[in-house]
Structure 1
């Protein structure tokens, strides 16, 4: 769930990438460890008003507490909570200790990049916490997603497609300093790994492939959170994404 400004309210919502879900973090000019959240839609601030979370024109500076790669915003024991159900209003939750575990007050702060947008659309932060993933985009051919490998070793890539679409789901080997292309009319998810097939512990990740663009792969994470498993029936190869620590059940091929 992400923080969204809607109808002068602050709600929890599924990611869609609109400006209503984009916020500018402004540091407290007094130098205290506080930040204000300003909406990129109309500049209104997330405020704490009589134990309620509202939008207002004046900056309200929240105490920010860092916990690993996550953050908590609040005022004393009153923490900003983002409900886990889409559409619910954000609220204040009393948390006695910063060591207390509570998903609703555990926040991530991400930059607005194609990789972040791609991962959030998939419903996971994926490799967003890793600094070793490096990709870039340049203009390409209309109706195509191209992947250019800048690594010194071969990578294996597959591009998703809408359910029922007559498109190739095949995983292709992309040799160093070469590229491969997939015909796609819209942006899709790109599954990239250094290993061929379901190899335990392989380096794998998911990034956003933009139609009409070339996705340049400069480096991949060394600590994978994802594995890519490839299965097929004659003439219909498919790429499946397995989450490490979970069982991927394939009922039909």
Structure 2
């Protein structure tokens, strides 16, 4: 009994899952509103030209009549008009001709005045004037022109000339660089390498009796810090500061700094 019951349930489930079969008697497209008999009749009426327009598309406004424009009669030109135009053109041309004549007279007067002042008549620029005379400059050498020198010298003359020039050459032999004699002053490079203290660190006692302006004026006497350092060493530096160039007692005059020399040597 249970087997029959389960078999019936399975058949009922299969029947519920089976899709519905459309009715073939209804025809194709008859269930669409656009394919209804009323819609087809409306389209046929539109194609044949008997379709009624939409009532909302009809306007009750009246179109006003187009205005009429009357053609104006052509005005006749009087016979005296061309005469007046010609007279106007003649009057307008007269000042231009008068101005050109004035310019010509002024130009001629200026040329005459220039000829009277210099005694030489100015040259009128005209294509009919003869070409100016070309003067040769005797100061320019023509040695590079073979056509110019072939009639003046022969090959043998040139060879003899080269030999004479060669005999006048002076050959300077190279020699060793001469050594400096005498005392050239303190060697600031050697002094920089012999010191170890940084700039501004006091190494020597100084008796500062001068003001800051006086100390700056003492340094301004030298074109460069190197020259100030050389003068400082010549006058007993670094132990003594007779010139007042080392007020902080670090052994370096004015703004002289030994760091670049130390960095090159690796110290």
TM-score, structure 1 as length reference: 0.17
Higher strand share: 1
Higher helix share: 2
Which has the higher Rg, Structure 1 or Structure 2?
2
Query: Could you say which structure has the greater relative contact order, defined with CA pairs below 8 angstroms and 6 or more residues apart?
Result: 1
TM-score, structure 2 as length reference: 0.16
